[in-house]
A and B are shown apart, each in its own frame.
Chain A
Amino acid sequence: MATSTTMLYGTDSIIEVEIGTLTVDISGSSNKATINLEMIIGEASVFGDKWPQRVMTAKNCTVDCAAWYSSASNEAADFLLDWFSEAAPATRHVEIYINGKTVGNRVLSADWVFNGTTIDLETAATNPIPVTFQLLNAGAVTITPYAT
């Protein structure tokens, strides 16, 4: 069995978000994106058969992200607080380039709803204020290779 030579590390990943008409890179103020791909299973069992039938009925995707609280505009915290503060919050387009914009690497792309954020203020903390947030897909999610 050949050892893979194309394993990727996550350190150079990029998160781009939609702010108004702009596409803004918030990677410089964020440090984690956990992509959860879920297959939703429908199940039916019947009398006389111990084995249930299962079908993959739907798909779901959530992204759990972590960022640092910063005061500049168009950084992660500003993006989230603006989104939360909207009178009628709308979906936004977010793209995550898995290990950066390198040809052949994959990019996850979708419109998302914002499922909330936590901002942890603590007197004893020495690191910057951590911010976590979760995105839920609003419609289809694509995970495609990237090319220039």
Chain B
Amino acid sequence: MTTARYYLILKPLYVEREKRIMEPGEIKDFDPASGAILVERGIVLEIGEREVERRKHKHARVSDPELDKLDYLEV
């Protein structure tokens, strides 16, 4: 059994389970194999649970420049 990991979406991404295009700044869990492919292609960024919680708390939807400021991404 694989454990889901969390990914920050960097480029618009059509997600079958959601039946919609998810926008940059949204967070989605993917299975590690799928996520690895998306990371490799620069579409998503893997983030840790603490970062997920922080973003939920702030209701954050970040743009790319803000990503550069993040210094404690857990991967």
Contact = CB atoms under 8 A, between A and B. Distances in A.
Contacts of B21: 109, 142, 144
A51 B52 CA distance: 52
Nearest to A95: B14
B59 to A, nearest CB: 23
Contacts of B30: 147-148
A148 B38 CA distance: 11
Interface in A94-129: 101, 103-104, 107, 109
Q: Is the interface of A mostly helix, strand, loop or mixed?
A: strand
A144 B38 CA distance: 12
B38 A103 contact: yes
Q: Report the interface size class on chain A.
A: 10 to 19
Interface residues of B, number: 17
Interface string B1-45: 000000000011111110001000000101100100110110100
A146 B12 contact: no
A145 interface: yes
A107 B19 CA distance: 12
Interface string B29-68: 0110010011011010000000000000000000000000
A126 to B, nearest CB: 39
Contact of B15 (A104, A142, A148): A148
Interface of B: 11-17, 21, 28, 30-31, 34, 37-38, 40-41, 43
Given A104-B38, A145-B43, A148-B17, 14 more contacts: A104-B43, A109-B21, A142-B14, A144-B13, A144-B21, A145-B38, A146-B13, A147-B14, A147-B15, A147-B28, A147-B38, A148-B16, A148-B31, A148-B34
Interface of A: 101, 103-104, 107, 109, 142, 144-148
